[in-house]
Amino acid sequence: MTTQPHTARLIDGKQSAQRLLAEVAQQVQACRAEGVTPALAVVLVGDDPASQVYVRNKLRAAEQVGILSHEYRFPATLSEQQLLATIDNLNRDAAVNGILVQLPLPAHIDEGRVVRAISPLKDVDGFHPENAGGLVQGQRVLTPCTPLGCMRLLAEYGGDLAGKHAVVVGRSNIVGKPMAALLLQAHCSVTTLHSRSQDAARLARQADILIAAVGRPGMIDASWIKPGAVVIDVGINRITQGEGRSRLVGDVDIASVSAVAAALTPVPGGVGPMTIACLMQNTVTATQLQQQAAALQCAG
């Protein structure tokens, strides 16, 4: 008798994102029925090619679900003061529900200052310290889109998360830290690994759920994976292949890991589409939070 080699189930992020976008489109219709059309302002400074693609995809998704979008494009020479003035105007504009400043920003602009300038109730990226702190304390706040998208994929493909051991590789403010907070909230035992971790692969092999968010192509191979683990690959790395050709790969070495894991997200087509769908969800959530805040103000 011959045995088939094991191959992990591929998690279809495109399909899950379309399901989420359909739900968001219904929520947008409900807002419209109450006389409010959710609106997202997207700010892009400079001409980073990857950022241009991301922004285009975000605007396209907004259109798909019926969210109004306003695009603000500035040259890389824009001063920090000018950017802060733009954000101030958007904060005050009641017709704008979400503000997204695409990162990275040119080196002469302080990203932290820009993130802190965005009203927490319009911070659809969930990067403002007030939202980051609220997330850790389990409050209903705007939450970073990529970790939110990973949680949705885990809800669909990961089974019951309570009591599982989740390992997050990477500790960025955008992915690693909020991811760990969300997994903890879902009752996982959580380990965060990073570039200074000793024996990282051995610790990762204890994971029922492994989130790879390091930004190093193919770094996570089968030696990091417990048989049967669910693996979510957040990495989006462009690698050149000679003759001017390039392609996108994740942080996970798919060929080796798919022989060990139970399920795995591809790159592209895994977490990426979920991030954009969650941005749309966050724009609706921001609209709802603003309406609640306004109602409380009237009542008070």
Closest distance to ligand GUN from the beta carbon of 43 (Å): 9
Burial of 239 (0-12, 13-18, 19+ CB in 10 A): exposed
Report how far residue 300's alpha carbon sits from residue 128's, in angstroms, rounded to the nearest whole number.
Answer: 26
Report how far residue 253's alpha carbon sits from residue 96's, in angstroms, rounded to the nearest whole number.
Answer: 41
- Measured from the CB atom, the residue of 37 and 172 that comes closer to ligand GUN is 172
In the complex, which residues of this chain contact ligand GUN (CB under 6 A)?
100-103, 125, 145-146, 174
Residue in the shown chain whose Cβ atom is closest to ligand GUN: 103
Residue 209 neighbours by CB distance under 10 Å: 24
- Measured from the CB atom, the residue of 173 and 288 that comes closer to ligand GUN is 173
Report how far residue 217's alpha carbon sits from residue 253's, in angstroms, rounded to the nearest whole number.
Answer: 8
- Measured from the CB atom, the residue of 66 and 215 that comes closer to ligand GUN is 215
Closest distance to ligand GUN from the beta carbon of 58 (Å): 9
Strand order in the sheet with 263-264: 9-10, 263-264, 230-233, 209-212, 165-169, 189-193
Report how far residue 13's alpha carbon sits from residue 263's, in angstroms, rounded to the nearest whole number.
Answer: 12
Active-site choice (27, 58, 177, 233): 58
Judge contact between 80 and 72, C-beta under 8 A.
Answer: no
Q: Tell me whether residue 102 is one of the annotated catalytic residues.
A: yes
- Measured from the CB atom, the residue of 87 and 225 that comes closer to ligand GUN is 87
Query: How many helices and strands (H and E) does the chain possess?
Result: 10, 11
Q: Tell me whether residue 122 is one of the annotated catalytic residues.
A: no
- Measured from the CB atom, the residue of 8 and 236 that comes closer to ligand GUN is 236
Closest distance to ligand GUN from the beta carbon of 236 (Å): 9
Report how far residue 154's alpha carbon sits from residue 170's, in angstroms, rounded to the nearest whole number.
Answer: 18
Closest distance to ligand GUN from the beta carbon of 159 (Å): 27
Closest distance to ligand GUN from the beta carbon of 71 (Å): 14
Closest distance to ligand GUN from the beta carbon of 142 (Å): 12
Judge contact between 209 and 232, C-beta under 8 A.
Answer: yes
Active-site choice (123, 125, 233, 251): 125
Report how far residue 13's alpha carbon sits from residue 272's, in angstroms, rounded to the nearest whole number.
Answer: 8
- Length of the chain equals 300
Q: Tell me whether residue 15 is one of the annotated catalytic residues.
A: no
Active-site choice (27, 102, 281, 290): 102
- Measured from the CB atom, the residue of 100 and 190 that comes closer to ligand GUN is 100
Judge contact between 261 and 8, C-beta under 8 A.
Answer: yes
List active site positions: 58, 102, 125
